Amino acid sequence: MIHPTAIIDSTANLAAEVEIGPYAIIGKHVTIGTGTSIGAHTVIGDWTEIGENNQIYHLASVGPASQDLKYQGEECWTRIGNNNMIREFATIHRGTVTGIGETVIGNGNLFMAYSHVAHDCVIGNGIVMANAATLAGHVTIEDDVIIGGLVAVHQFVAIGRNAMIGGGTMVSLDIPPYMIATSGRIRDTKLRGLNLIGLKRHGFSDETIKKLKTSYKTLFMADLKLPDAIARVRSEIQDCPEVDYLLAFIERSQRGISRG
């Protein structure tokens, strides 16, 4: 159902069973997949692709121009997968030509009220961003991450899969996968151990969790230089893809890793 007060550009392509609420605005070159609903007064900006079965609540803003002052209206995109929930007043901005040219959102994510995803971010699957959580530009969030309310993530930061960021945390360095990170004050972000509840909910075996615990102690509690700690973990723990991924994430970090 498309409400008669909605404004839809002639270049937009709406699939079957798309719902558009009162006074919503759908911009140029927008594609919306079947089963997606767009709430009242929501604005879908130009060059936006939205997949199937998404719920976008009233007064959200998806795909507007970046707030990067270098952006001059070039063709850049917002691409959103399937089964996402974008709550009221959430904002997701399109990419820029000085970045990757697109902001990419995966599947099955929840963006709570007033959350913000800036330009050129890449968001995986199964992520929860709580109320007023904010990502600066060029941020990468891997699968199954939980970001607490009022969290602010610095540009170019990466957060590894199955991590959890406590409410109010200021994240300026990369957060390794499988970890909990919190902060008591600005620039005092620390790791607080493994995200044990999250790992168990996602089916990690007891043996894998045990190996991740051992790795955590060596990497972040053994008073070793990080390259030496990585070498020790690699020599002591084999045949564990999760530990291998943890080490690879740390080694490819560009901003540096938050530590305990």
Q: Any idea which residues carry the catalytic annotation?
A: 119-120, 137
CA dist 123 to 86, 102, 136, 208, 248, Å?
13, 11, 12, 25, 19
Amino acid identity of residue 90, one-letter, is A
CA distance 37 to 17: 9
The neighbouring-strand residues paired with 62 are 44, 92
The token duo for 232 is 């020790």
How would you label 60-86 residue by residue, b for 16+ Cβ within 10 Å and e otherwise?
bbbbbbbebeebeeeebbbbbbbbbbb
Q: Residue 57: which of 84, 72, 37 has the closest Cα?
A: 37
Report long-range pairs for 145-154 (Cβ below 8 Å, ≥24 apart): 146/198, 149/112, 154/255
Separation of alpha carbons 195 and 67, rounded Å? 33
Residues 177, 164: Cα–Cα separation, whole Å: 9
Beta-ladder partners of 182: 190
